[in-house]
């Protein structure tokens, strides 16, 4: 267990990033990246700087003065962690082989009824994956059709992908009438800043607008982290007919039934992790990844700052 003083400091930083100096911001940013074995370029260090707004030039000038970090081949990491550079390069190669499938799955989701936005999230969005990584997606649906849209995703994309050996996870689904995320912390700020919009750019912009709080955590993270790679979506006559056919009491019944079914399934499995189930949200994070990330972040702060009074 980390010391109580530093643990409290970690909690405060996690939920309300008040960072006093650029040196602290650099260290906190590298603490977070190190959880994922992910050294940062100068541009990435700037983009994901925790709680401190500064230009790349100012950050670059400061880096030489910060104790406890090292630079190798243009990447910055904590001292003693130089081995993660080769891991990042290896994982980027793996990600390159997965991207065509990620775009195809995103396109397949975008074509389904009631889908209004699709974004790639998780480790693949930052090209930091092993060969068995999931394909994670953040999806926005029409109002009142979160659960029916999820059911269609499972039947038409998730299960066919599984038969090919791929795990497609549309694990965060919101309705377009409720775009504000209920959790405000460093982890979810990164989720917003790192996601790659594939379809529904206007809805993506509305999502960021509804969650401007994330700019307090990552004030330099503006727009998409890489050039947009939009996929064609569902403006077909077939989709319009399907939406019309399910915009009635039958569709509403299926919506309620699916939400109830998944809730019972999770309860039967015992524990729901960070799952959030409501008529406007399906967050299927059963492994409590956000909480585990916080605990790892606090541990790194403890190791690095334990000598402080």
Entry pTM: 0.90
Q: What class is the 95-287 domain?
A: alpha beta
3-state helix, strand, coil in the chain (%, to 5): 50, 15, 35
Q: According to DSSP H, which parts of 111-248 are helical?
A: 122-125, 146-153, 159-163, 186-194, 201-210, 214-217, 237-246
Q: Are 290 and 183 in contact (CB under 8 A)?
A: yes
What are the sequence ranges of the domains in the chain? Answer: 4-85+293-305, 95-287
How, if at all, do strands 75-78 and 135-141 pair?
A: unpaired
Q: Are 179 and 139 in contact (CB under 8 A)?
A: no
Residue 306 has what pLDDT? 61
Answer whether 4-85+293-305 and 95-287 agree in fold: no
| pLDDT tens track, the chain, 309 positions | 445 676 777 887 788 878 889 999 999 999 999 999 999 999 999 999 999 999 999 999 999 999 999 999 999 999 999 999 999 999 999 999 999 999 999 999 999 999 999 999 999 999 999 988 999 999 999 999 999 999 999 999 999 999 999 999 999 999 999 999 988 999 999 999 999 999 999 999 999 999 999 999 999 997 777 766 677 666 678 888 899 999 889 889 999 999 998 888 776 665 556 678 899 999 876 566 778 888 888 888 777 766 454
- β strands within the chain, DSSP E: 69-72, 75-78, 115-121, 135-141, 168-175, 196-199, 276-278, 281-283
CATH of 4-85+293-305, one of 1.10.3470, 1.10.10, 1.10.8, 3.30.70: 1.10.10
- As a whole number of angstroms, the distance between CA 109 and CA 231 comes to 10
Which residues does residue 168 pair with via DSSP β-bridges, in sequence order?
A: 135
């Amino acid at each position: 267990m980390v010391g109580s003083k530093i643990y409290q400091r970690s909690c405060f930083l996690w939920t309300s990033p008040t960072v006093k100096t650029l040196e602290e911001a650099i260290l906190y940013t590298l603490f977070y990246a190190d959880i994922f074995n992910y050294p940062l370029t100068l541009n990435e260090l700037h983009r994901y700087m925790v709680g401190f707004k500064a230009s790349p030039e100012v950050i670059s000038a400061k880096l030489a003065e910060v104790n406890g970090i090292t630079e190798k081949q243009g990447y910055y990491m904590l001292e003693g962690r130089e081995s993660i550079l080769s891991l990042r390069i290896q994982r980027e190669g793996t990600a390159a082989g997965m991207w065509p499938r990620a775009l195809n799955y995103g396109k397949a989701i975008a074509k389904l009824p009631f889908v209004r936005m699709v974004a790639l999230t998780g480790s693949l969005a930052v090209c930091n994956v092993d060969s068995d990584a999931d394909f994670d997606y953040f999806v926005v649906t029409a109002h009142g059709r979160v659960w029916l849209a999820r059911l269609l995703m499972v039947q038409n994309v998730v299960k066919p992908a599984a038969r090919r050996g791929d795990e497609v996870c549309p694990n965060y689904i919101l309705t377009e009438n409720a775009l504000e995320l209920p959790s405000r912390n460093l982890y979810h700020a990164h989720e917003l800043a790192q996601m790659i919009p594939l379809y529904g750019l206007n809805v993506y912009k509305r999502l960021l607008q509804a969650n401007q709080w994330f700019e307090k955590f990552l004030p330099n993270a503006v727009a998409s982290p890489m050039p947009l790679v939009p996929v064609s979506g569902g403006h077909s006559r077939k989709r319009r007919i399907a939406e019309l056919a399910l915009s009635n009491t039958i569709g509403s019944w299926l919506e309620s039934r699916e939400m109830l079914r998944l809730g019972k399934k999770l309860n039967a499995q015992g524990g729901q992790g960070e799952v959030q189930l409501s008529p406007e949200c399906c967050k299927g994070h059963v492994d409590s990844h956000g909480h585990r990330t916080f605990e790892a972040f606090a541990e790194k702060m403890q190791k690095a700052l334990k000598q402080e009074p």
